[in-house]
Amino acid sequence: MMKTNEYNKPIISMMAILLWGFIFYSSVPFYYEMYKNWDEKSASNEQLTPCSGLGTDVCIDKVRLNFENTGKTILGEEYLGNGNFGISFIDRNKPGSYSAKVSTDCNCGITNIAISTLN
């Protein structure tokens, strides 16, 4: 004949599993919010880092991304020095080709874009 304790072991084990599952399930949103807030803070800190000076040739990736995100196709690029890039491009929405002088700061943020048509 089985003792009462033998019947309780599976029930206690199952209750422990359910309790841990509930604790895990209920903590996921908390840790997600904590991670999300941390990620947003770190991104905003990167953007707000004060700097003095001009960009370098390593800023070309951000310059390319800016052009590609605005529907333009880069035909050629050149680092001109002093945080400036020369970019030749076409606009998918307009006929012709264009030239742009793009100025960057030391965080690779674009500070100025001067566009002219190519002949």
- To the question of pTM greater than 0.75 for the whole model, the response is no
Domain ranges in the chain are 1-49, 57-117
> Which CATH number is 57-117's, of 3.40.50, 3.30.70, 3.30.420, 3.10.450?
3.10.450
Q: What is the CA radius of gyration of the chain?
A: 29
DSSP element (H, E) containing 83 = none
Q: Round to whole Å and give the CA distance between 85 and 100.
A: 8
41-71: per-residue pLDDT in tens?
555 555 556 677 888 989 999 998 888 888 8
pLDDT digits (tens, 9 = 90+) for 75-109: 999 999 999 999 999 888 888 899 999 999 998 98
Cβ(113)–Cβ(95) below 8 Å: no
